[in-house]
Amino acid sequence: MRKKIVAGNWKMNKNFEEAEDLLFDIADILKENRPEDVEILVCPPAIYLELAADIAHENGFDCGAQNMSEHESGAYTGEISAAMVASTGAKYVIIGHSERRTYFGEKDSLLALKVTQALKHNLTPIYCCGEVLAEREAEKHFEVVGEQVKNALFHLTAEEFEKVVVAYEPVWAIGTGRTASPAQAQEMHAFIRKVLSDKFGVAQADQTTILYGGSCNAANARELFANPDVDGGLIGGASLKAEDFVKIAGSF
Ligand code: PEP
């Protein structure tokens, strides 16, 4: 059985006090009603990672960074290394979110380096892929997502790849309120699994957790997660409210 995961991407939201409140709110709800058989994690701004790791680990959830440098250390002002992320107690890192690709020009070749760097420091990379609307309308979505997966993950050995989580996030669905239909999500997740299986083998692809992200919320999570190849979600906006976030985690 592959792992089910619900991860919250807080993006650039919350001041320190608000972040602390949200972490404790999630912890309180989980104490009352913890969804079973699902790993729950939050990805706050990096400045709150140590706080998040402390609160999360005491309360049965986890945390991760939203990004990290491809470099080991040194003169890279403003950057945060994989070793720094790991030293806070965080276990995951989101790599290749569409906002990083769009606003910070991150390309697959760079993301391949980040994936390797994350694994070197024992962080679980959550590698994001997804097409923009024009690509879907031109019926190029499978080609685009297939290339993103190959370009950033196919340099790994099967053993290295074992730890990787993939998140399919159609860009047209992120923060737009326009969710992929359950059929669209399932079709793409099955395609990604096939691409992975051609490279890493059926057994390995079968063990790979593939998350859906893009306007997933407490109202639509259940029908998305009901698909055989959808193993959970990467949640943006709806992860900023503790009740909604935990409800999503309970939607399997
Ligand atoms: C995201 O940022 O990864 C995301 C899925 O955002 P939202 O849920 O707000 O669409």
Nearest to 234 by CA among 251, 210, 250, 252: 210
Alpha carbon nearest to ligand 1 atom 1, residue:
236
DSSP one-letter string for the chain: -PPPEEEEE--S---HHHHHHHHHHHHHHHHH-PPTT-EEEEE--GGGHHHHHHHHHHTT-EEEES---SSSSSS-TT---HHHHHHTT--EEEES-HHHHHHS---HHHHHHHHHHHHHTT-EEEEEE---HHHHHTT-HHHHHHHHHHHHHTTS-HHHHTT-EEEE--GGGTTTS-PPPHHHHHHHHHHHHHHHHHHH-HHHHHH--EEEESS--TTTHHHHHTSTT--EEEESGGGGSHHHHHHHHT--
Distance from Cα 198 to the centre of ligand 1, integer Å: 29
Q: Which residues contact 105 (CB under 8 A, 6 or more apart)?
A: none
Both tokens of 201, joined, read 């083998």
239 C-beta closer than 6 A to ligand 1: no
102/112 Cα distance (integer angstroms): 17
State phi, psi for 225 to the nearest 5 degrees: -75, -15
Distance 74 CA to ligand 1 centre (A): 32
Instruction: Measure Cα distances from 232 to 2, 48, 62, 112, 238 in Å.
Output: 11, 24, 15, 23, 14
- Ligand 1 mutation target, pool 215, 241, 248, most atoms within 8 A of CB: 215
**Is ligand 1 within 6 A of the CB of residue 179?**
no
Specify the pLDDT at position 1: 84
Q: Measured from the CB, is residue 214 less than 6 Å from ligand 1?
A: yes
Q: Is the CB of 236 under 6 A from ligand 1?
A: yes
Cβ distance 195 to 149 under 8 Å?
yes
Residue 125 near ligand 1, beta carbon < 6 Å:
no
Q: Does the model's pTM come out above 0.95?
A: yes
Closest CA to 111 of 127, 98, 99: 127
Ligand 1 atom with the shortest distance to the CA of 237: 9
Q: Which residues pair with 65 in a beta bridge?
A: 93
Catalytic residue of the set 97, 99, 106, 131: 97
155 is catalytic: no
In this prediction, residue 233 carries a pLDDT of 98
Catalytic (active site) residue 169:
yes
**Beta 39-43 vs 62-65: how paired, if at all?**
parallel
Give the C-alpha separation, 201 to 139, whole Å. Answer: 27
pLDDT of residue 13: 98
Nearest-CA residue for ligand 1 atom 8 is 236
Mean pLDDT of successive 10-residue stretches along the chain, which has 252 residues: 96 98 98 94 98 98 98 98 98 98 98 98 98 97 98 97 98 95 98 98 97 97 98 98 98 96
Residue-range domains of the chain with CATH: 5-249 (3.20.20.70)
